Amino acid sequence: MYGHQGQILHVDLKTGKIWTENLPEEWRQIYVGSRGINAKLLWDYCKDPEITWDDPRNVIIYGPGALTGTTAPASGRTSVTTVGCTTGMYLKSNTGGHWGAELKFAGYDHLVVHEIADSPSYIHIENDHVEIKDASGLWGKDIIETDTLLKKWHGEDSRGLYIGPAGERLVRAASIQCSLYHAAGRGGGAAVMGKKNLKAISVRGTQPIKIKDPKKFAEVAKEMRELLRADSGAQSLHEFGTSGSIAGVNELHAFPGRNWQTGYTPNVHPITGQALNEKGYLKRRVACFGCTIGCHRYSVIDEGPNAGIASGGPEYETFGALGNGPGIIDTEGVLLLNELCNRIGLDTISAGTIVQWAIESYERGVLTKEDTDGLELGWGKLEETIKAVEKMALRDGKLGELLGDGLKIATKKVGKDSYKWAIMNAKGLEQSNVETRSAKAYALAFAVNPRGNDHLMTETFAEFGASPEAVELIEKLTGDKKWASPHFTEYRAEIVRWHEDCYEITEALGFCVFTSTAAYGVNPDNMARLYSAATGLKMSEEELMLSGRRVVTLEKAFNVTRGATREHDNLPWRLMHEGAASGPLKGEMNSPEELKEMLDKYYTLHEWDLKTSWPLKATYEKLGLKEVADYLANLGKLPQ
């Protein structure tokens, strides 16, 4: 097979059965790859709403992109899909690193893990040699120790995907670490692995990837590479990393601080990518497999009491969630927290949002010193923040047990209106560090995101009109470039829906979403040409974008089986009811009225039912999802 390797690998942890199936040819047209085929597999195995995240029948699916392992620039990413434990709904988390490419070189497009192992286990894959192995020597080890041991056993060239002590303890904010410092962090996929007693997946592969039309492929890949080389956004990502944008976001009063109570931080410089460079912490710019941008960082503390602390990052989100959020405006402080999370296997976004909620709860007297195991939580208190994060990761003490369950459960346990300062929406995932009150397409995209409110199922950066390409795109989608401003609520539905489709196909092919929705080197047109050259399938831009829409609809359908309704498409209480603290949009909110208007337009555009938000029968049928419609009809969830 060309482009794809043509094989899906299945591992049943209970029976020990290991088997492969051929990748169905038609899926390459209908679902394309990675996120798309993962979604189809999850639907097939787990559509029954009785299958909860911790049910043995829940599967966890790993899928590198259809073009992962090639010179398509920045195409080395992998989607991990399962019934998520944080929301209990659809979860796709996507990671960089080098693991996905290695799985592909081992000969597999997807890996599906079934059931629960009787004791701690790991999977070792070396081409067609696949084994479930005893992980008793790895259980309890942190990410670095796990990596060291697995590379000792299986070679320095092997690539690993691991959970740390947090995932073993089913902590909701636990992350799946990939190639050490990259993560499929969001939504608690690591807890699903922990529940399955699955500590790690180590892979080595030597099967080449064949291309139908190598000459054409090289030509289109070059076009993408040169567009990205010239793109100022991509250049900045290489030079300063994702955190290079923090000063600019802060100037817009859109850099959330102190649990979204501030948007502007004076002297923000220490928690920026520029500071990492200037102060000499940055030791290396790092790339995921096949990425020509290289936005990842490797940072080291050389001197002082913390000398020797080294890790990947910190990223924008980490400087936000564990820096500006808890008020730690200190480069080294964030480096320590970042290293801790990478080592122990914790999603820095959820960890930070949870800790901020705990600090504010303590400040309000809703959590007492007894609840915090004696920790005097407060803004800007590094030592206490580190301890709180450690407790969360290890479920240590009363505070650890509370925070380890994430905000959805913690706010219910604590009560006292504490949901009002919990930055999550009705689905229950802790929000990433975006000020949606002054960016309305982001607000809508966050509200409808099937896995909860963050920027990683679709992102609408173009609404800021920060580059000529972004303005041009907004003009194409809305008819007028004047709508390239995040303050408008008009045309946000159109902007979100296009980005949903584009984001989905970007991930299906394995591309990093920075290439198509933050920088503009990769677009639906050249993606379709490249995919066609790789596979020999004739896919037009329109067909490819339609596959994106199909997958987005399938993901929505999955949530419908789990009881999702229009009420789940909202934003955190604070952002809907309290105004932004400062800046040009001081006092601005994501009011329920404003959101209602945007949602009505969004559902109408998608041809989904306005009352329930559920897709209509005809909508599924138009997308070739008749079987999905039939299943939902049986559940009584198929509006006509």
Partner 1 sequence: MERLLLVDMDKCTGCKQCSLACSLIKEDLFDPHRGRIKILKREDIALGIQLLCEQCDAHPCIDACPDNALSRNDDTGIITVNIDTCSSCDSCVKACPYHGIRLHPETGKPLICDLCGGDPYCVQHCVPGALCWIDATDDLMKQKKKLRSARMAKYRDLKKEAAK
Binding site for partner 1 (CB under 8 A): 69-71, 73, 76, 98, 105, 144, 147-148, 156-157, 159, 179-181, 206-211, 214, 217-218, 222, 225, 228-229, 238, 283-294, 296, 298, 310, 312
Closest approach, Cβ 63 to partner 1, in A, equals 18
Looking at the Cβ atoms of 287 and 309, the one nearer to partner 1 is: 287
What is the distance between the alpha carbons of residues 589 and 639, in angstroms, rounded to a whole number? Answer: 32
Looking at the Cβ atoms of 285 and 622, the one nearer to partner 1 is: 285
Closest approach, Cβ 180 to partner 1, in A, equals 5
What is the distance between the alpha carbons of residues 590 and 249, in angstroms, rounded to a whole number? Answer: 19
What is the distance between the alpha carbons of residues 334 and 340, in angstroms, rounded to a whole number? Answer: 10
Looking at the Cβ atoms of 125 and 388, the one nearer to partner 1 is: 125
* Bond into 314 cis (ω within 30): yes
Tokens representing 305 are: 């009491």
Asked whether 101 and 71 are in contact (CB, 8 A), the reply is no
Cα-flanking dihedrals φ and ψ of residue 60, to 5°?
Answer: -120, 130
Asked whether 568 and 559 are in contact (CB, 8 A), the reply is yes
CA angle (409 as vertex; 452, 587 as ends), nearest 5: 55
Looking at the Cβ atoms of 59 and 144, the one nearer to partner 1 is: 144
Residues 216-250, buried b or exposed e (16+ Cβ, 10 A)? ebeebbebbbebbeebebbebbbebbbbbbbbebb
Amino acid present at 457: M
Looking at the Cβ atoms of 150 and 629, the one nearer to partner 1 is: 150
Closest approach, Cβ 542 to partner 1, in A, equals 28
- Look up tokens 């990842």; give the residue: 296
Closest approach, Cβ 292 to partner 1, in A, equals 4
Contacts of residue 539, Cβ cutoff 8 Å, sequence gap at least 6: 29, 528, 531, 532
Closest approach, Cβ 192 to partner 1, in A, equals 24
3-state secondary structure (DSSP) of residue 515: helix
Closest approach, Cβ 521 to partner 1, in A, equals 11
Closest approach, Cβ 211 to partner 1, in A, equals 6
What is the distance between the alpha carbons of residues 314 and 331, in angstroms, rounded to a whole number? Answer: 9
Closest approach, Cβ 527 to partner 1, in A, equals 18
Looking at the Cβ atoms of 7 and 292, the one nearer to partner 1 is: 292
Asked whether 129 and 154 are in contact (CB, 8 A), the reply is no
Cα-flanking dihedrals φ and ψ of residue 113, to 5°?
Answer: -105, 125
Distance from the Cα of residue 141 to its chain's centroid: 25
Looking at the Cβ atoms of 179 and 613, the one nearer to partner 1 is: 179
Closest approach, Cβ 69 to partner 1, in A, equals 6
What is the distance between the alpha carbons of residues 427 and 571, in angstroms, rounded to a whole number? Answer: 9
Looking at the Cβ atoms of 74 and 598, the one nearer to partner 1 is: 74
Looking at the Cβ atoms of 143 and 477, the one nearer to partner 1 is: 143
Closest approach, Cβ 99 to partner 1, in A, equals 10
Looking at the Cβ atoms of 15 and 206, the one nearer to partner 1 is: 206
Contacts of residue 567, Cβ cutoff 8 Å, sequence gap at least 6: 426
